[in-house]
Amino acid sequence: MKKTVLFLLLAQSSVLFAQSSDNATNNSDFKKANGVEYKIVKDADGRSIQIDDLVELNVVWKVGKNDGVSKDTVVVDTRKTNNGKPVTMTLTAPKFVGDMTAGLSFFSAGDSGVIRVSVDSIKQNLKDVPLPDFAKDGDYFIYEVNIVSVKSKEEAANEQKLLDEGQKKTDDRLLNEYFVKHNIKPLKTASGLYYIIQEKGTGDKIAKGKSVTLKYTGKLLDGTVFDSNEDPAKAESKEPFVVKAGEGMVIEGFDEGLLLLKKGAKATLYIPSGMAYGRQSMGGSVPENAIMIFDIRVTSVK
C-alpha cells in the first residue's frame, strides 16, 4: 500500500479528533502561524499545549473548500473510530511545514476549534509523497479539534504510576480470590508473577537467549480461552511455538515464567495485567487490564 499523506498525518502526527462548529467556515477568523491556519471557537482558560504533553482530544478530519458553501468530505472522525472516546497523543515537534500538530500548540484543555492546511501547500512541501485521490487542488485538509485534557510529561507519568499501583493491588486481590476458590497454592516471584510447576523437567533452568519450543493455552480468570496452540481445531496448533527466552518476544510475565522452567517442564503461570497487556485491549475476548493464565509445556530447549 502506498504511503499517502493520510497515513503520514495519522501515523506521524499521532491521532486527530474534534467537534464540528457552525463558525468553522468563517475564513476571516483564521490566524496563520507555523505553516498552518487555525481558529479557536471555544477558548477555555489554561496554558497552551507544549511539546511532550500528553493530550486527549477528539478530531474530525475533513477535506474540502472550507468556504461555508461547498460540502466538505469527512475522512476520519475519531469519535466513531474510537468508540466515542477521545484519542490520546503525545505532542511532538511538527514533521514538516503544514503538519497539523503545529496548530495544536495554540490550543489548551477545553478548547475547540479548527486547524487547516491547504492541499496546494502540502503538495509544495511534500513533493515526494503522493496525496490521496480525494485531495484536490484548491482544497484544504481541515481538522476540527476538541481538546479534552492536557497533561505535562511529568503529570502523565505520576498519574500513570498511581493507576498502575492501584491496578496491581486489584490484580493481586482478584488472583488471591481465585486461588482460594480453586484451592490453589502457587509460588510468587518478587515481580508479582504467580506460578505452579506440575512437572519439573530435566537439566538446567532455561537460560536467557535459549530457543524454547512450547505447547500452551492462554485463558482469562473466568476460563475464557483466548489463545492456544494445542487446540487441533486452530491453525496455529499445526505449528510449534518457538521463542527466545528472556528477550522480550512475549509478554513480561510469560518471559519471566520461562526462566523458571526446564526442558520437559509443565507449569501454570498466573500473570497480573501489568505484566501482560495492561490497559491495552487486545480485542475479541481480551479486555483491558486482563489477568492471564497460561498452561505451558516445554517440549525442547536449544
- Average the pLDDT over each of 72-76, 125-129, 140-144 and give the range with the smallest value: 125-129
Please determine, for residue 237, whether its predicted confidence score (pLDDT) is greater than 90: no
Choose which CATH entry (3.40.50.12780, 3.40.50.11540, 3.10.50.40, 3.40.50.300) describes domain 164-301.
3.10.50.40
Three cell numbers written together for 22: 457552525
- Report the chain's terminal Cα–Cα distance, integer Å: 38
The confidence score (pLDDT) of residue 26 equals 54
Cα(215)–Cα(197) distance, integer angstroms: 15
Residue closest to 106 by CA, chosen among 94, 119, 118: 94
Beta pairing partners, 220 = 292
- Average the pLDDT over each of 189-198, 216-225, 274-283 and give the range with the smallest value: 274-283
DSSP per-residue string spanning 134-174:
T--TT-EEEEEEEEEEEE-HHHHHHHHHHHHHHHHHHHHHH
Sequence-separated (6 or more) residues with CB below 8 Å from residue 223: none
Cα(70)–Cα(218) distance, integer angstroms: 53
More confident residue, 232 or 289: 289
Cα(177)–Cα(169) distance, integer angstroms: 12
Cα(43)–Cα(88) distance, integer angstroms: 20
Cα(87)–Cα(58) distance, integer angstroms: 6
For 93-139, write each residue's pLDDT tens digit: 999 888 999 999 999 999 999 999 999 988 888 888 888 888 888 99
- Cβ atoms of residues 267 and 195 within 8 Å: yes
Domain residues of the chain, as ranges? 5-151, 164-301
Cα(212)–Cα(228) distance, integer angstroms: 16
The confidence score (pLDDT) of residue 2 equals 36
In CATH, 5-151 is 3.10.50.40:
yes
pTM, two decimal places:
0.65
Comparing 5-151 with 164-301, is the CATH topology the same? yes
More confident residue, 24 or 36: 36
3-state secondary structure of 265: coil
